[in-house]
């Protein structure tokens, strides 16, 4: 009898502990991420680059779009490690790493990524890097070692002439974005010798989820002046608000609030807001949100989901990364002692925002090609005394004859 009572008591304690665990509220304060002074500066400059890149793409894109500044920064930092001289300087300056060595940048990157990945156990954040190279191409061991050690990159040689190479690269993109981006390349150029890739995947539940029963069709006013009814979520959620002459802003949270979504709603025209979106505006906005108090907000927000793909060559050149794209001028001798250039930088993205939270993914791909020398003209070097003649060629009339001993 005593044994039975002890078993019952133990079972009750287990059940109580289980219920307590199920009813425990998730942590609601953000985890602290420790940054050095240089680390904080890198993030600030990286944000500046991201806002400028987004603005350059968005003003020319009439439809939906999404970019990942972090994914682009990581992939371009990988490229920077293989650049030299002016090509290196242009990428370094564009990304805001002025005054920092590649080693310092790499160390800052590793520290930041390690802490970001561990910031919130309730949010799934995955980041992966890869270097794929033609198996006949000889890359410098130091470059490949840096990719493995500083960026934890998968480094692998492939036969780019085989269909299996395309399947491997696209398969990696799919695997590291939870199947959301399953194709980043449709073909591999005969001149391609390397691809640098970054994949970023995010899945976070709202700190306060929307009730699906409260989702209904509501009016949405399109840019062309028309109006349509679209599925819209409704709920009272914790958030921060900021108002400015050109926009209204709200910040809402995922998980324990390390990660959030900021929404800018233009007061008048979205095009005007896009034109005015600068690093200074972004810095001012985030500072105001940081000092605003958190409150319950009655929020109505459309559900949305889309995929996007864009090439970033033109925008990156406008931002200062010029030489890397120019055959014969690009200096990527940190990768190999060969004439290389960047053929393209592209990004594929996916986003789905619903009552539960947000799922987003991005893959940045940098294509690197061997610069073709082409057919060189035959050489004729006049470096000693010579004769010359002037004639009318149809009649072979010799008009002048001469000798040059000392030009």
What does the pLDDT look like over 266-325, one tens digit per residue?
888 888 888 888 899 888 988 898 899 998 988 888 888 889 899 999 999 999 999 999
- Which tokens belong to 157? 């040689």
**pTM (two decimals):** 0.84
Q: State in words which class domain 212-302 has.
A: mainly beta
Least confident of 140-144, 166-170, 295-299, 331-335: 295-299
Rounded distance between C-alpha atoms, residue 355 and residue 211, angstroms: 7
pLDDT digit string (tens) for 114-134?
888 888 888 898 999 999 999
Angle between helices 102-117 and 37-58 (to 10 degrees): 80
Q: Where are the domains of the chain?
A: 37-205+304-370, 212-302
Q: Please report the pLDDT score of residue 258 as a whole number.
A: 85
Q: Please report the pLDDT score of residue 21 as a whole number.
A: 36
The pLDDT of 202-231, averaged and rounded, is 89
Q: Please report the pLDDT score of residue 406 as a whole number.
A: 64
Mean model confidence pLDDT for the chain: 84
Q: Give residues with Cβ within 8 angstroms of 302, minimum separation 6.
A: 218, 220, 230, 231, 232, 233
Order of all β-strands in the sheet with 192-205: 154-158, 124-134, 192-205, 357-370, 340-353, 304-311
pLDDT digit string (tens) for 370-405?
987 554 456 556 566 655 555 545 445 444 555 556
List of long-range contacts for 178-181, beta carbons under 8 Å, 24+ apart: 178/126, 178/203, 178/359, 178/361, 180/350, 180/359, 180/361, 181/307, 181/348, 181/349, 181/350, 181/361, 181/362, 181/363
Rounded distance between C-alpha atoms, residue 355 and residue 209, angstroms: 6
What's domain 37-205+304-370's superfamily in CATH?
Antithrombin, subunit I, domain 2 (3.30.497.10)
Q: Beta strands of 101-212 (E only): which ranges?
A: 124-134, 154-158, 192-205
pLDDT digit string (tens) for 3-29?
333 333 333 333 333 333 333 345 678
Rounded distance between C-alpha atoms, residue 212 and residue 50, angstroms: 34
């Amino acid at each position: 009898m005593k044994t039975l009572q002890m078993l019952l008591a133990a079972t009750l304690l287990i059940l109580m502990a289980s219920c307590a665990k199920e009813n425990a509220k998730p942590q609601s304060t953000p985890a602290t991420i420790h940054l050095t002074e240089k680390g904080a500066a890198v993030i600030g400059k990286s944000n500046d680059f991201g806002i400028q890149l987004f603005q350059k793409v968005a003003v020319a894109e009439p439809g939906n779009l999404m970019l990942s500044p972090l994914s682009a920064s990581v992939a371009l930092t990988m490229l920077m490690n293989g650049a030299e001289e002016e090509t290196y300087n242009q990428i370094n300056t564009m990304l805001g790493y002025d005054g920092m060595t590649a080693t310092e940048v790499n160390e800052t990157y590793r520290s930041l990524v390690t802490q970001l990945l561990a910031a919130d156990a309730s949010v799934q954040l995955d980041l992966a890097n890869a270097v794929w190279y033609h198996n006949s191409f000889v890359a410098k061991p130091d470059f490949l070692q840096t990719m493995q050690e500083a960026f934890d990159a998968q480094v692998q040689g492939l036969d780019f002439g085989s269909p299996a190479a395309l399947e491997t690269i696209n398969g990696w993109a799919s695997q590291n974005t939870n199947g959301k981006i399953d194709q980043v390349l449709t073909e591999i150029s005969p001149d391609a010798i390397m691809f640098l890739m970054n994949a970023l995947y995010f899945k976070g539940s709202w700190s306060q989820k929307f009730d699906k029963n409260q989702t209904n069709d509501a009016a949405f006013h399109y840019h062309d002046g028309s109006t349509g009814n679209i599925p819209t979520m409704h709920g009272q959620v914790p958030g921060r608000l900021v108002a400015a002459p050109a926009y209204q802003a709200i910040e809402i949270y995922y998980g324990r609030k390390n990660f959030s979504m900021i929404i800018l709603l233009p007061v008048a025209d979205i095009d005007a807001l896009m034109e005015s979106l600068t690093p200074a505006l972004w810095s001012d906005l985030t500072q105001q949100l940081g000092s605003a108090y958190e409150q319950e907000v009655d929020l109505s927000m459309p559900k949305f989901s889309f995929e996007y793909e864009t090439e970033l060559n033109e925008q990156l050149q406008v931002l200062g990364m010029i030489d890397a794209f120019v055959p014969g001028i690009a200096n990527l001798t940190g990768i190999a002692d060969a004439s290389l250039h960047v053929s393209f930088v592209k990004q594929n993205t996916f986003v789905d925002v619903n009552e539960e939270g947000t799922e987003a993914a991005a893959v940045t791909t940098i294509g690197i090609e061997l610069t073709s020398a082409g057919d060189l003209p035959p050489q004729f070097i006049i470096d000693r005394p010579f004769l010359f003649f002037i004639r009318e060629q149809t009649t072979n009339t010799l008009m002048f004859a001469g000798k040059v001993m000392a030009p």
